[in-house]
Homo-oligomer: A and B are copies of this chain.
Amino acid sequence: MDVARLAGVSQKTVSRVFNNEAYVSAEVRRRVLEAAEELGYRLNHAARALASGRTRSIGVVSLGTALYGPASLLIGIERAARDTGYALRVVYTLEGDPGGIAGAIDFLLNQGVDGIVISEPIDEEADEGTVWAGVDVPVLVLGAPAPFGAARTLCAGVGADLLARAATEHLLDLGHATVHHLAGPQRWYAARDRLAGWRAALADRGCDQPPVVEGDWSAASGYAAGRELAADADVTAVFAANDDMAIGLMRALVEAGRRVPDDVSVIGFDDTPVAAYVTPPLTTMRQPFDPVAQEGLRLLVHAIEKPDVDLPPAHDPPVDLVLRASTAPAPSRTPLSRGRRTATRPRNVPRTGAPADGGLSDHP
Asked if B50 and A44 sit within 8 Å, CB to CB, the answer is yes
Asked if A247 and B65 sit within 8 Å, CB to CB, the answer is no
Chain B residues near A43 (CB, 8 Å)?
110
Asked if A247 and B277 sit within 8 Å, CB to CB, the answer is yes
Chain B residues near A355 (CB, 8 Å)?
220
Asked if A278 and B278 sit within 8 Å, CB to CB, the answer is yes
What are 22 residue pairs bridging A and B, where the CB atoms are less than 8 Å apart in the complex? A42-B109, A42-B110, A45-B46, A45-B110, A46-B112, A57-B89, A64-B78, A66-B68, A71-B71, A78-B91, A87-B107, A88-B89, A88-B90, A88-B91, A89-B89, A218-B273, A220-B276, A220-B355, A222-B277, A223-B356, A244-B274, A251-B278
Q: Mark A17-44, 1 if CB is under 8 A from B, else 0.
A: 0000000000000000000000010111
Looking at chain A, what size class is its interface with the partner chain? 35 or more
Q: How far is the CA of A272 from the CA of B244 in the complex (A)?
A: 11
Asked if A219 and B277 sit within 8 Å, CB to CB, the answer is yes
- A54's nearest neighbour on chain B, judged by CB, is B46
Say if the beta carbon of A111 comes within 8 Å of chain B. Answer: yes
Chain copies in the assembly?
2
Given contacts A42-B134, A247-B278, A274-B278, 20 further A-B contacts (CB under 8 A): A43-B110, A45-B110, A45-B112, A64-B79, A66-B68, A66-B72, A66-B272, A78-B90, A79-B94, A88-B89, A89-B90, A219-B276, A220-B276, A220-B356, A223-B277, A223-B356, A224-B356, A251-B363, A254-B364, A274-B274
- A362's nearest neighbour on chain B, judged by CB, is B255
**What's the nearest-Cβ distance from chain B to residue A78, in Å?**
5
Chain B residues near A64 (CB, 8 Å)?
75, 78-79
Q: How far is the CA of A166 from the CA of B350 in the complex (A)?
A: 46
A254 with B90, Cβ < 8 A, contacts A55-B46, A220-B356 known: no
Chain B residues near A112 (CB, 8 Å)?
44-46
Q: How far is the CA of A110 from the CA of B276 in the complex (A)?
A: 41
Asked if B277 and A279 sit within 8 Å, CB to CB, the answer is no
Of A72, A87, A218, A220, most buried by chain B (CB within 10 Å of CB) is A87
Asked if B251 and A277 sit within 8 Å, CB to CB, the answer is yes
Chain B residues near A279 (CB, 8 Å)?
250-251, 254, 278-279
Q: Can you list the 6 inter-chain pairs with the closest CB atoms, starting with the nearest?
A: A46-B49, A66-B71, A219-B277, A251-B277, A46-B50, A71-B71
